[in-house]
Structure 1
Amino acid sequence: MAETNLVLEGSRMVAVGDYARNDWMLRAAWSADEGSDLRVDRTSWPMWRVYADLAHILDDSQTIGLIDARAGRSFRVTERGVLSPYAVIHADYDDSLANKAALGAGVGLSWRQWYRETRYSAPSSYVDLSLEYRTRLSGDDRAEGLFVTLSFSY
C-alpha cells in the first residue's frame, strides 16, 4: 500500500443551488502511478496512472463509479513544465441513468506546470491541463468525444 493511494470517505452533501442535493455519501477511491513527478535528471521518461472511484449516495440510493487508466511518455520541455502524450481507457457507471455504463478509449495530451519550490526543496505543487479524445467502445454515448480537465494540486 505504500506505493498507492487509498481514500475512504463518509460525507454530507449540502445543497447549494437548484441542481444540488442534501444527502450522505460513502466513497472509496484508489490510485497508483509512476513517472508523474518532475524529473530534473532526464528530459523524458515513461509514465502511467490508474485511478478508480466508487461512491454510493444514501438517501437517493445512487451508485456511481469510474476507472481511468493512462500510459505514455513525459517530456520536460521547460525547467518546470512537462508535456505528456498518452493512451487512455476510461469506464464509468451511474445506476441512475438509462444507459448505466460507458467505456471509451483514445489519446490525450497533458501539460503540467510545477511550482512552489524553495531554495531547499523541489516543486511541490502543480497545475495540470489535459485534453483527450476518446472513441466509444461500448455503452452510452458519453464515452465518446473531447474531454478537457484542469486540476490544481497544492
Structure 2
Amino acid sequence: MAKLNVNGTDREFEAEDDTPLLWVLREQLGLTGTKYGCGIAACGACTVHIDGEPTRTCVRPVSTVTDKQKIITIEGLSKDGSHPVQKAWAALDVPQCGFCQSGMIMAAAALLKQKAKPTDADIDAAMTNICRCGTYNRIRAAIKVVAKGGDAKSAGLTIQHVGDKA
C-alpha cells in the first residue's frame, strides 16, 4: 500500500508506479472532480495543486509524488464552494458545459495565490487551460473580480447572455 496526502488527509491506495496521478485520484480515491481531457497535459482539465503549484495529473506518474507533498483537488479547495474563485465563477456564470472548469478554477486559484493582483499578461501566462466552449472572457472577468476583492456587482462586471435585454 502506498500513501498520499490529499485534501489534508493521508489516503492509501494500490497502483503501479507509472499510473498517472489522475487515475489514482479518480479511480482509487473516488475524487472525480478532477477530469481527464487529453492525456498529454495540454488541456489542463486534470489540474490539481501539489504543494501549491498547479500540476497536470494525466501525465504525472503517481510514483513521483511523495506522501509528504500536499495535494489539493477541486474537492479540497473548499467544502462548500465558498472559495473566492468558485464564488466568482458562479456569480459570472463562467461554465457552459463545465467539463474544464475544475482545472480552470485550480489554475486560477494558484495564480491568485501567487499574484493577488495579476495583470492581463499574468493571466494569459498562467491560464493555459483549454476551454472548448470558449468562456475565456468570463474566466478573465472572474479572476479580476477576485483580484479586486469583491463580488461581480461591486467590481462593476456583468456578463450579458445571448437573448438578455440590455
Higher helix share: 2
TM score, norm. by length of structure 2: 0.22
Q: Scaled by the length of structure 1, what TM-score is found?
A: 0.23
Higher relative contact order (CA 8 A, sep 6+): 2
